[in-house]
Structure 1
Amino acid sequence: MSTPAAVPTTDPTPTAVRPAGLTVDDLTVRYGSTTAVEHVSLDVAPAETVAVIGPSGCGKSTTLRAVAGLVPVAEGAVGLAGRDITGLSPARRDIGLVPQNYAVFPHMSVAANIGYGLRARGTATPRREERVREMLELTHLSDLAERRPDQLSGGQRQRVALARALAIQPDALLLDEPLAALDPQLRGGLRRELAAMLAATECATLIVTHDQREALSLGSRIALLRDGRLVQFDTPQRLWDDPVDAFVADFLAGAVLLDAEVADGHAVTLDGRWRIPVGDLAVRPTGHGAVRLLLRHDSLTVTDDADAAALLAEVTHSEFTGDGVHLTVRAGERLLGVRVPPDARIGRSVSLAVAPGRATLLSPRA
């Protein structure tokens, strides 16, 4: 199935007139005969955080590496703070990079790690020491300044790498899977800490992540990639409420997006086999041109009522979730999700109905 064209939130800025912040214009990256990233355009304003997300192999890390100057650009351009940096070496880009493994120097103290970039740039000692103190305070590492990385937790090492990247006061900050190496129990607290630290900076921040929750919580906008192409670039709320296609709905929110039409006060979908009164649906305008039905896991209920608005579906899988059971059901060729109480008695098939107001009819603007 072909991938939709990119849907940017703003018109791309011509390369000759670059704004402040980070711009990626029509970026293409190839490894030999393989195209890893194809015609991707996005922008990050100063003090803004944009999250790049998508399935494994979609090109998100390659995009970040191209911005950092670690892989060559086949087509397109990268701009930063009004400069075209496409052909510059990584050291000349004024970019702070935090790789996935943090890459802190094991033989240096926390303070020395943070000051490394400043020392390499020849920053005078008084200013370097002042800046290190500022970064220690920002990342809550002041009490650990003389420890070595092997004396730190994973979350503390992550903060050291972030402080080192920010110490040089970069125009852009690039984070590659910043929380992926941490235990799940730590991620929630560190995600909140990271959001607070990024809010205290003025640089344009680009985060690559595979974690949908991380993208939704950290990014003021999200760029969703698939097969090396940009599928949708928008705010988390608009991606959630008005996904451009079924892939976006499923990947970002585990939702289902069905083609539909409205006839005689009903939303008709699944080749006419399911007719739902429009009055039972939340109706929202869409910017993507077609009538569609958006279903989340709380949109459906199992019913005993054999009315025309019910849909008969086959149960293919059930999964206990503590406070309920999540069912995967098949209706024709489509898989849907529905939650039921933990003590519900479910057979091989169920009759489904829409929970009033919980499913959304996306209808084109008049």
Structure 2
Amino acid sequence: MSIRAAADRRSAPARAEGLAVDGLTVHYGSTAAVRGVSLDVAPAETVAVIGPSGCGKSTTLRAVAGLVPVSGGAVSLAGRDVTGWNPSRRNIGLVPQNYAVFPHMSVAANIAYGLRARGTAAARRRERVREMLEVTRLTDLAQRRPDQLSGGQRQRVALARALAIRPDALLLDEPLAALDPQLRGGLRRELAAMLAETDCATLIVTHDQQEALSLGSRIALLREGRLVQFDTPRRLWDDPADAFVADFLAGAVLLDAVVDDGHALALDGRWRVPVRDLAVRPTAHGSTRLLLRHDSLTVTDDPARAVLEARVTHSEFTGDGVRLTVRAGEQVLGVRVPPDARVGGSVSLAVAPGRAVLLTPGA
């Protein structure tokens, strides 16, 4: 199947033969690590689960794999309720964070391990290993041991081993976390291409926002064990459910606002922004809000503009500019200025026309 065809299939609605998690709840003692999480992954789709440390994302993955008992809810795979099944019966391919490749085996033997355990005939096993070596571009390394491979190559071995058994679902736990930051961009693109060639439902747990945005056709964002928002990357970016989603995914700020006489009033009415200076978009989350990113604001000395007075609390050089953290009353905002800008201890802020977004139910 071509990468384009696989991508088209991943955009299709989830079907019964994929992976479905319904009201999943997991307790560790008296502590609820996961609380009523529901999500689904279609065959050939990749869903990313993201959130801060301790939010329950890895526990969700382990519950789907059958490695931790569930307190409530259900896990369905390929149309079957597998909630109480042993992990070995679930036909799931799991790639843990440390890859867990067998150090005494060659690349080819690592890939063949699951097939051998299932009693696959030798001829079919060799053919499947050959296929997976080609897909993961490891053919020339088939006889090497893991200690002779780079981190990225070991990751591909673990992925090939998980895919060799033709799983109904593929689970990846922080797949790029063990790699150097300089390698992640290229390997993220490689991983996306390899996943596009598979037909199984893929669930990726990651703490990296860019990883989630680039790999997931949909993203499930968790906080304190609960699902906050589950949607496409574009909709999470353009219409976050709340201030936590806006901040965690994109470093943006979401302010409550009301529209009055052609102005958006924010910060308890202390800031009146002409609607003509804003991009107006519909929201699916009920109330009117002002969405601000680091490029939404500018420092101005023009008293005719709708300015907001703020105090600079931090500055950070980013190469192509300086990112300021400012405080207006109790509200913390971010603003990017040119690298040669002269900024004092306080600034007057205005929206950059068209860069700030007014989310309104009536748009």
What TM-score comes out, normalization by structure 1 length? Answer: 0.95
Q: Which of 34, 40, 45 is equivalent to 1:43?
A: 40
Residue 178 (structure 1) aligned with residue 175 (structure 2):
yes
Q: CA deviation at 1:308?
A: 5.3
Pairwise mapping of residues 190-339 of structure 1 onto structure 2 (< 5 A)? 190-307=187-304, 309-339=306-336
One-letter identity of the residue aligned with 1:43: D
Query: Deviations 1:158-204 (Å, cap 9, x if unpaired)?
Result: 00000000000000000000000000000000000000000000000
Secondary structure of 1:105's counterpart equals coil
Residue 144 (structure 1) aligned with residue 135 (structure 2):
no
One-letter identity of the residue aligned with 2:170: L
8 Å Cα contact 1:110/1:160 also seen in 2: yes
Give the equivalent residue in structure 2 for 1:28: 25
What is the CA–CA distance in structure 1 between the aligned matches of 2:117 and 2:143, rounded to whole Å?
A: 20
8 Å Cα contact 2:266/2:272 also seen in 1: yes
Structure 1, gaps ≥5 residues long = 1-12
Secondary structure of 1:181's counterpart equals coil
What is the CA–CA distance in structure 2 between the aligned matches of 1:76 and 1:342, rounded to whole Å?
A: 52
What is the CA–CA distance in structure 1 between the aligned matches of 2:351 and 2:82, rounded to whole Å?
A: 52
Q: CA deviation at 1:306?
A: 1.5
Residue 353 (structure 1) aligned with residue 350 (structure 2):
yes
Q: CA deviation at 1:342?
A: 0.9
Q: Which of 124, 131, 134 is equivalent to 1:134?
A: 131
Give the equivalent residue in structure 1 for 2:67: 70
Q: How many residues align?
A: 351
8 Å Cα contact 2:17/2:78 also seen in 1: yes
Residue 167 (structure 1) aligned with residue 164 (structure 2):
yes
Residue 109 (structure 1) aligned with residue 106 (structure 2):
yes
Query: Deviations 1:117-154 (Å, cap 9, x if unpaired)?
Result: 00000000000000000000000000000000000000
Query: Deviations 1:83-134 (Å, cap 9, x if unpaired)?
Result: 0000001000000000000000000000000000000000000000000000
What is the CA–CA distance in structure 2 between the aligned matches of 1:365 and 1:111, rounded to whole Å?
A: 59
What is the CA–CA distance in structure 1 between the aligned matches of 2:266 and 2:95, rounded to whole Å?
A: 46
Q: CA deviation at 1:323?
A: 1.0
Q: Which of 66, 79, 97 is equivalent to 1:82?
A: 79
Percent sequence identity over aligned pairs: 84
What TM-score comes out, normalization by structure 2 length? Answer: 0.96
Secondary structure of 1:179's counterpart equals coil
8 Å Cα contact 1:220/1:236 also seen in 2: yes
Give the equivalent residue in structure 1 for 2:96: 99
What is the CA–CA distance in structure 1 between the aligned matches of 2:318 and 2:39, rounded to whole Å?
A: 38
8 Å Cα contact 2:111/2:160 also seen in 1: yes
Q: CA deviation at 1:258?
A: 0.2
Secondary structure of 2:313's counterpart equals strand
8 Å Cα contact 1:275/1:308 also seen in 2: no
RMSD of equivalent CA atoms: 1.1
What is the CA–CA distance in structure 2 between the aligned matches of 1:193 and 1:347, rounded to whole Å?
A: 45
Secondary structure of 1:70's counterpart equals coil
What is the CA–CA distance in structure 1 between the aligned matches of 2:304 and 2:267, rounded to whole Å?
A: 17
8 Å Cα contact 1:287/1:365 also seen in 2: no
One-letter identity of the residue aligned with 1:245: D
One-letter identity of the residue aligned with 2:99: Y
One-letter identity of the residue aligned with 1:229: R
Secondary structure of 1:30's counterpart equals strand
Q: CA deviation at 1:205?
A: 0.1
What is the CA–CA distance in structure 1 between the aligned matches of 2:305 and 2:356, rounded to whole Å?
A: 17
What is the CA–CA distance in structure 2 between the aligned matches of 1:185 and 1:93, rounded to whole Å?
A: 36
What is the CA–CA distance in structure 2 between the aligned matches of 1:119 and 1:77, rounded to whole Å?
A: 30
